[in-house]
């Protein structure tokens, strides 16, 4: 990710000023999450940008320093870290806890995004690639069919659940260009979190997701109510807070997508010339 022009609004994303003080986690006070020592314990090697596992006291976190972001020609403004924090702010406005608690702060490698680590259920996959003759009859949505490296038929599926429906609505609004299967975390309590939201908020349509299972279906009342909350908040504090992380044009585009989805009141279909799903899928 290239550094922004110091005069531009997204530059605030590199200052490590917190957008809001996170609530306390475990026995770690909220202020300590922002200012306490962040100790790195290892690197998450599968990530495309520098990503580390760390601790603040006893709280396990993910840390992504701005200095470790690779330049992206199609996301030249701001930082990936800032976009991840902006995604959390929108998630909080929806009220669905799509994104784990995320904030900006200094760390061992400079300013970066910090996010609460999530322990997933090793026996649960909210998104899966299965043999085409093993697609479950109930509780799952089919996204696409293909063939594997042995030229055998396979099918991409995901849960037909409230949590994933809400994540799909969230992705449309923030224009998520990278909802891979591995970016959906299945928690032991049944909740599902979405992570890795650095490729969001672009003014151009870039929606790439594995969550296409409800294409064309009407939105439910709770999903419409969530859109109403975001639209209302964008006219106030949320709109102001987002300007520390993304550009004014991107905030305006966010509001327009929210209004368009609310007006259509149904899940959209893929459009444009870009692939509708990210690659790799996981």
pLDDT tens per residue, range 123-182 = 999 999 999 999 998 999 999 999 988 999 999 999 999 999 999 999 999 999 999 999
What is the total count of domains within the chain? 2
Measure the CA–CA gap between 215 and 228, rounded to whole angstroms.
Answer: 21
Whether 15 and 155 share a structural domain = no
For residue 4, pLDDT over 90 is answered with no
Sign of CA dihedral 139, 268, 153, 129: negative
For residue 273, is it within any domain?
A: no
For residue 276, is it within any domain?
A: no
Band (27; pLDDT cuts 50, 70, 90): low
pLDDT mean over 250-255: 98
Band (272; pLDDT cuts 50, 70, 90): confident
Whether 105 and 217 share a structural domain = yes
Give residue 199's domain range. Answer: 9-121+161-264
Spatial contact of 113 and 81, defined as CB atoms under 8 Å apart: yes
For residue 46, pLDDT over 90 is answered with no
- Segment (H or E) for 52: strand 52-56
Whether 246 and 143 share a structural domain = no
The pLDDT assigned to 25 comes to 53
Question: Mean pLDDT score of the chain, rounded to an integer?
Answer: 89
Band (249; pLDDT cuts 50, 70, 90): very high
For residue 20, pLDDT over 60 is answered with no
Identify the residue with better confidence: 145 or 20. 145
Whether 15 and 94 share a structural domain = yes
Whether 169 and 146 share a structural domain = no
Each residue's pLDDT tens digit, 211-238: 999 999 999 999 999 999 999 999 999 9
Peptide bond into 280 cis (omega under 30): yes
> What is the pTM for the complete model shown?
0.88
Whether 101 and 115 share a structural domain = yes
The pLDDT assigned to 9 comes to 34
Band (23; pLDDT cuts 50, 70, 90): low
Measure the CA–CA gap between 188 and 226, rounded to whole angstroms.
Answer: 25
Band (21; pLDDT cuts 50, 70, 90): very low
Whether 213 and 153 share a structural domain = no
Measure the CA–CA gap between 155 and 101, rounded to whole angstroms.
Answer: 33
Whether 143 and 101 share a structural domain = no
For residue 202, pLDDT over 70 is answered with yes
Residue 168: phi and psi, rounded to 5, are -65, -40
For residue 277, is it within any domain?
A: no
Whether 38 and 133 share a structural domain = no
Percent of the chain whose pLDDT exceeds 90: 78
Whether 105 and 166 share a structural domain = yes
Whether 155 and 223 share a structural domain = no
């Amino acid at each position: 990710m290239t550094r922004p022009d110091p005069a531009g609004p997204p530059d605030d994303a590199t200052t490590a000023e917190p957008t809001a003080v996170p609530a306390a986690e475990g026995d770690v006070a909220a202020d300590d999450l922002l200012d306490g020592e962040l100790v790195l314990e290892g690197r998450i090697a599968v990530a495309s940008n520098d990503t580390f596992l760390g601790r603040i006291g006893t709280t396990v976190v993910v840390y992504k320093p701005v200095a470790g972001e690779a330049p992206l020609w199609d996301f030249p403004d701001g930082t990936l870290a800032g976009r991840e924090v902006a995604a959390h702010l929108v998630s909080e406005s929806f009220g669905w806890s799509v994104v784990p608690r995320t904030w900006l702060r200094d760390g061992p490698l400079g300013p970066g995004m910090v996010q609460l680590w999530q322990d997933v259920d090793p026996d649960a996959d909210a998104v899966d690639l299965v043999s085409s003759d093993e697609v479950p009859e109930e509780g799952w949505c089919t996204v696409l069919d293909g063939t594997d490296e042995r030229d055998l038929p396979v099918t991409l599926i995901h849960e037909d659940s409230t949590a994933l429906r809400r994540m799909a609505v969230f992705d449309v609004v923030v224009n998520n260009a990278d909802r891979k299967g591995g970016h959906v975390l299945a928690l032991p309590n049944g909740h599902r979190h979405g992570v890795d939201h650095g490729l969001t908020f672009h003014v151009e349509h870039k929606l790439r997701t594995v969550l296409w299972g409800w294409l064309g279906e009407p939105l439910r009342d709770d999903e419409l109510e969530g859109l109403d909350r975001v639209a209302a908040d964008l006219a106030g504090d949320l709109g102001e807070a987002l300007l520390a992380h993304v550009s004014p044009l991107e905030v305006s585009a966010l509001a327009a997508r929210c209004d368009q989805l609310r007006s259509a009141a149904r899940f959209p279909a893929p459009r444009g010339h870009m692939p509708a799903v990210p690659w790799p899928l996981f």
